[in-house]
Homo-oligomer: A and B are copies of this chain.
Amino acid sequence: MAVYASHSAIQILLGAREEGLLTTIFGPPESLRLYSRFPGLVNKALEYSGVDCLSILKDEGHVLIPSGSIVEYVGYDAIVKSGIPYFGLKELIKWESEWDLKLKLLNEAGIPIPKTFKDPSQVDTIVIVKLPGAKGGKDFFISKTPREIEVNLEKLKENGKIKSFKDVCIQEYVVGTTMYAHYFYSPIFDRLEITGFDIRYETNVDGMKRLPPTLTKNIQPSFIVCGNIPVYPREKLLETFIEYGERFVKTTKRLIPPGIIGPFCLECVINEDLEPIVFEFSGRIVAGTNIYMNGSPYLKLYWGTEMSVGRRIAKEIRIAKDTERLTEILT
């Protein structure tokens, strides 16, 4: 297994070790350092230098385990070019890179999503304006004033952060509680497993809320993820979450065959009717699963023993290998 040095690599490496799989970590030297700090965590470290590096990993028989960082720092093109076996649905990266496609997929799955606005002038409620790419919420902003949105977008254009207004997603900001649902779809067992939930801890917004408004009126809230907090939904919401997940799996099978493989996440806000509204998804492991590095309480329900999502990945690969079904979990 080859893992990029960031995001959720620790639990993936630990899980691989627990399942007896060999690992190589790759990335820039300054990122590799962390992983050498923990004795025996990784079998080999490789400095990342582009496609060639992926080809070496391929030749050594590695399977690439993607995380959010791999999309950002390695990229779809390099992965395809190298031909390295990919644990997950490679094509999904393209759907995720465009807001239109991303929301279309959720919509086709019959999953409730927030309203989106094509143009700032149409905005008639609180919205969050999101930039493309998974940069952890950087430069996102909220507003309910068309004029303010236009001014902000102009600034982002001037700074080169967006090319045109079409790059951003102007999405209704549903007022409610955020909850990120983590899933694992196993092609080997044809089963969707729920693995856990988290709340994102975002700077500065989660700090600003502790200050009286008189002190914060000149501060703009920002939404940069710095960590994750565990949360456990009401049991009656669990069934809803699982059904959303099943619809998502089914729809990816239909629109992007062979469909999703392994971990994914539906990013929800729970409204006052206790209905989860999905404002985004991630087609691979999310950092929120790091909370359950010592064992997901939900995975125990399927497996009889606590395990992390990292270990669940390694287990799927090991079982697929042992039963000569590796082709079903790689794209």
Contact = CB atoms under 8 A, between A and B. Distances in A.
Interface of A: 6-10, 14, 30-31, 33-34, 37-39, 41, 126, 136, 142-144, 173, 175-179, 197, 199, 201-213, 215-217, 219, 221-222, 224-239, 242, 269-272, 274, 287, 290-291, 293-295, 297, 300-302, 306
Given A177-B207, A204-B272, A226-B179, A234 B34 contact: no
B293 A297 contact: yes
Contacts of A34: 235, 238-239, 242
Given A213-B213, A235-B7, A272-B224, A207 B178 contact: yes
Given A230-B230, A239-B33, A302 B176 contact: no
A294 B291 contact: no
Contacts of A201: 177, 179, 199, 231
A212 B213 contact: yes
Contacts of A41: 301
Nearest to A136: B234
Nearest to A17: B304
12 contacts: A10-B301, A175-B204, A175-B207, A177-B227, A178-B207, A211-B221, A212-B216, A227-B232, A229-B230, A229-B231, A294-B297, A294-B306
Nearest to A144: B215
Nearest to A30: B239
Contact of A235 (B38, B207, B209, B290): B290
Contact of A203 (B30, B39, B274): B274
Given A197-B227, A224-B272, A301-B38, A8 B178 contact: no
A226 B274 CA distance: 7
A229 B229 contact: yes
How many copies of this kind of chain does the complex include?
A: 3
Given A34-B239, A228-B232, A294-B297, 16 more contacts: A6-B236, A126-B215, A143-B215, A173-B211, A175-B211, A175-B216, A197-B227, A204-B272, A206-B210, A222-B272, A226-B237, A229-B230, A232-B291, A235-B287, A235-B290, A294-B300
A19 to B, nearest CB: 15
Q: Interface SS of chain A: helix, strand, loop or mixed?
A: mixed
Max chain B C-beta neighbours (<10 A), residue from A10, A33, A34, A221: A34
A136 to B, nearest CB: 7
A322 B170 CA distance: 63
Contacts of A270: 203, 226-227
A14 B304 CA distance: 10
A8 B234 CA distance: 8
A256 B207 CA distance: 34
A46 B149 CA distance: 55
Contacts of A225: 234
Contacts of A199: 201, 229
Contacts of A126: 211, 215
